[in-house]
Amino acid sequence: KALRSNHGTCYNCTNMKSAKSPFPIRNILYIPETCREAFIPLSNNGCRVLRKAGVRLAGYSEFGEGYLVGRVSPGFRILLFTIEGAGEIYLEHDDGSERREVIPSRTVLSVPAGLKYAYRPIEVPWKVAWFHLESTGRQSASLERDYTIRSYPTAYRVGATMRELIDESLEASVAGEFGEVDDNTKRIEELYAEILLARLQSETCTRKSPASNHSLTTLDSLWNRVSFALDEKWTSSRLAEVSGFSSTHLNRLCRDILGLSTMRHLNALRMERARELLRSTDYPVRQLAGLVGYEDPFAFSTAFKREFGMSPRDCRKGAPS
C-alpha cells in the first residue's frame, strides 16, 4: 500500500505551541464505518513472546473521517507507528495546560501511562500500527516520561510485519478449529511474533539518550533541504558539510534518532518519493529514476525492488506491498 513521505523530519515536541482542544478530552472511542481494524490475537500460543514483553493489546488500523479516541487516565503506554496519512493529538498535563501535535506519516508516537489525551485523523486514510504496553517493566521504564513524536522511516515495515502476523495467527486459529495445528504453521506464527517484538524493542529498549535540541533542529533542516533536491548527487561528505557535523557524527546522529545510517536514510527518502511518483504520475522509469537521484535506471529498479519487494512496473500496476 502507498506510503506518504514526511521527508525525514525530526519532531521535537518540546518546541510545539500550546493549543486548546476543540472538544473535551474524555474517555471516548468512536469508530465509524469508514474505519478498518485488525487485532493481534495475543491469546494464541504463537504470540506469547509479545505477552511476556508486556504487550497488552496491539493491532493495525486504517482510520477514516470521524474516528476519535480519548483517554483520561490510561493505565498503559501507547506506541503508534504512522504508515500513511496523518493525525493530530491533543494532550492535557496535570497543570491543565494543553498541547496539540500533528502526527505525520513515517513517525512513531509514544504517550506514557496516565497522560490525558485524544487523537483523530486529519489526513485519511490514516494507517497505523499500534501497541498498548504495560506501564511497568523494562519496556515501559526505558521510555521517556513525556510524550514524543519521532521520525521513523521504516514504519511501513512494522505495519507489514504486523499484518503478516495477524494473517498467520488467523490461519492458525482456523486450523485449530478443525483439528491440530501443524508445526510449520505454529512456527511461522512464532517467527512473525518474534520479528515484530524485535522491531518494537528497537524503539523501546535500544534507543539512545535523546539528542540535543540543536542536533534535532540541524537534522530537520538538513533532511528538509535534501527532500526538495533528491535529484542532486548527495554524498556522505556533502551531507556532513551541509549539516556542519563531521561525517562520523552525522552518521551516529542519524542512527540514534532515525534508526538508519545517513546514506540509508537518504535512499529511503528517494525510494518513498519514487513510489509516490510511480502512483501519481506517468513518468517513464528512466525519467523518474533521474528525479530521485539515480542516473542508471537499472540500478534504480534494483534498489526499488530491494526496498519494497516489487519492481517499479509492478508498483505502478497497483501490486500490494
**% of the chain with per-residue pLDDT over 90:** 53
**Cell (9 digits) for 257:** 534518532
List of residues 6+ apart from 240 with CB closer than 8 A: 246, 247, 249, 250, 262
The span from the CA of 137 to the CA of 65, in Å, is: 36
Q: Find where cell 542532486 sits.
A: 232
179-211 pLDDT, tens digit per residue, is 777 888 888 999 999 999 988 877 665 444 455
Question: What 8-state DSSP symbol labels residue 15?
Answer: G
271-315 pLDDT, tens digit per residue, is 988 988 898 889 999 999 999 999 999 999 999 998 888 999 998
Q: Find where cell 482510520 sits.
A: 63
- Say if residues 147 and 153 touch (Cβ distance below 8 Å): no
The span from the CA of 83 to the CA of 106, in Å, is: 5
Comparing 138 with 149, the larger pLDDT belongs to: 149
- Range 14-33 burial, b when 16+ CB lie within 10 A, else e: eeeeeeebeeebeeeeeeee
Question: What 8-state DSSP symbol labels residue 103?
Answer: E
State the pLDDT at residue 225: 87
68-121 pLDDT, tens digit per residue, is 999 999 999 999 999 999 999 999 987 888 899 999 988 899 999 999 999 999
pLDDT at residue 138 greater than cutoff 60: no
State the pLDDT at residue 12: 36
Helix H, strand E, coil C: the string for 243-306 is HCCCHHHHHHHHHHHHCCCHHHHHHHHHHHHHHHHHHHCCCCHHHHHHHCCCCCHHHHHHHHHH
State the pLDDT at residue 228: 86
Q: Which residues on adjacent β-strands are paired with residue 84?
A: 127
Q: How many CB atoms lie within 10 A of CB 220?
A: 17
pLDDT at residue 8 greater than cutoff 60: no
> pTM score, two decimals?
0.64
209-255 pLDDT, tens digit per residue, is 455 557 777 887 888 789 889 999 999 999 999 999 999 999 988 88
Helices 262-280 and 213-227 pack at an angle, to 10 degrees, of 40
